[in-house]
Amino acid sequence: MTKPILLPLSNNLTKYCYVCQKRCHNLLPCKKCALNGKGHPAFVGIKEVRKTAPPLWNNLDYASAAWVNPHSDKWNTVDGKYGTLLLDFTIAAVFLAFCLYPGGYPMDWSYSKQGNIKMNISDKLPASWIGGCLLYHLQSTRINSFGFYDVARSEEAMKYEDLSSLIYPPLSLINHSCDPSALVLITSEGVAFLMSIRDLKARNEITISYQVAYEEKNTRDHKRQLKENYFFECTCEACQNNWNNENPVEKVKCPHCQFGSELIAQTARCSKCESFLPIEEAYKLISDVRELIQEIPNISWNRRQSQNLSSLLTRAHSLLSPPCRTITLLRECIFDLLKKTAQMWTCEPWLENYYKCIAAEESTTSKKERRMILN
C-alpha cells in the first residue's frame, strides 16, 4: 500500500476537493478532508538534504520523487506541439517558473548572469534551478504517473472523469510485463494497493502492466506502444513467444514438468515427459469459470464470493498454461470487482438519458445544456 503525490487537473478544480479528490462543489478543501489545514503529507521531510538515494523510500516524503527516472535523453526524439516534446516541456517549465515569480515565490533571475557566482551568492533560489526542477517533474510525471479518475455512472451508462496524475515512487520501481503477476488498484482515497494475481514463490519478480496485457492487442502493437511511451523494448515472456489476442486453444499444464499441451479430448499424456495430464480437472475448471461469468450480473458479492473467485484463479494458474483465455477472464473479473468495490465512483442517473439522446439526436434539452450538466 502506498499513498500518492497528487497533481490535480485544472478543469476539475471546482468539482472535486483539490486535496483528497472527493466530490466537492467548492474552491476550498472539503470540510471532512483529512488533510484540511495540515498540509499535504507528501512534504514531510522535504527539508532533509539527500545526496544519495535513500535505502528505503518513504512514500510520504516528496523528496523520494527526485529519484524517479525522467528519461531526459529521450524526449528530444518525440514529436511535440512546438517541435519535440522536450521543447514543449521546457517552454512549460519556463512559463510555470515565471508564474511563480509575480506570486511572490523568491527566486533570483540574474544568478546565472553574474560573472563570479561563488562571490555573489544569493539568498534566493536561482530561477534557472527552479525551471530545471519543473522540467524534471514534467518529464518524470509523463513516464511514471498513474491516472486517477471518478467513474460517473447510471444503471446502463458510464463516463470517466479524469482527476489527477498520481505519482507513487515505490511503484515506479516495478518492472513491466505483458503477462503481469500483480495489479495496481487505486482506491477512492487515492491510495494504491499492489495485489498479486497468482501465487508467487521466493525470488519471483513482481511485475505489473504499464498499459495493457498481452491478450488485449497483438505483440507488434504492444512493443510499439511501450517503445513510444516508455522508451524500452519489451522482452517479457509474452512478447518473446508472441502471445496476443488471437490465442490458440487452452493448454493444460503438466504437473511434473510444467509443459503446456493443447487441451483436447484425445490428450492424455504430456508430450514432453509422458506424465498423465489433469484433463478432467481442467475441463471442470473451464466450465466453472464460464458458469461464473454468466452469473456475475446476478451475484451479490460478499467475502465468500470473492474467496471463491480467488480460488478459481489459483486453480487456473496451477492447471492451465499461458496464453490462456480462462485466466484472462478471471483476472479481468477480479479487477472489475475490486474497482467497483474500492474505486471512486458517483451515481448520476441522468447519464443514461444523456447518451441515449446523443445517439438518437433527439432530446428535450440541447446538447450544450446536456454537456453543461455533465461537466
Q: For residue 56, what pLDDT band results from cuts at 50, 70 and 90?
A: low
Mean pLDDT within 146-152? 81
Is residue 355 over pLDDT 50? Answer: no
Mean pLDDT of 208-212: 85
> Which H/E stretch holds residue 193?
strand 192-196
pLDDT over 70 at 186, yes or no: yes
Res 212 pLDDT > 80: no
Is the predicted pLDDT of residue 50 greater than 60, yes or no? no
- Contact at 8 Å (CB) between 285 and 326? yes
Q: Name the 3-class secondary structure at 341.
A: helix
How many angstroms separate the CA atoms of 321 and 305, rounded? 25
Interatomic CA distance for residues 255 and 319, integer angstroms: 8
What is the CA angle 324-326-327, rounded to 5? 70
Per-residue pLDDT tens digits for 170-185: 888 899 998 899 989 8
Q: What is the pLDDT of residues 214-261, one digit of tens each?
A: 877 788 888 888 998 899 999 999 899 888 766 667 888 998 898 888
In tens, the pLDDT along 121-147 reads 667 888 888 888 899 989 988 888 888
Count H helices, E strands: the chain? 9, 15
Mean pLDDT computed over 187-205:
85
pLDDT at 245: 63
- What is the average pLDDT across 335-363? 61
Strand 83-84, strand 207-208: pairing: unpaired
The CA-based diameter of the chain, rounded to the nearest angstrom, is 85
Give the tens place of pLDDT for each residue, 76-130: 888 889 999 999 999 999 999 999 888 888 888 876 555 555 555 667 888 888 8
Residue 175 has what pLDDT? 92
The predicted pLDDT at position 150 comes to 80
Mean pLDDT for the stretch of residues 64-74: 81
Q: Which residue has the higher pLDDT, 52 or 375?
A: 52
Residue 7 DSSP SS3: strand
Stated pTM of the model: 0.71
Residue with the three cell numbers 517558473: 97
pLDDT of residue 207: 93
Domains and CATH numbers, the chain: 174-246 (2.170.270.10), 247-343 (no CATH)
Distances in whole angstroms, Cα of residue 254 to Cα of each of 269, 279, 320, 321, 324: 8, 10, 9, 9, 15
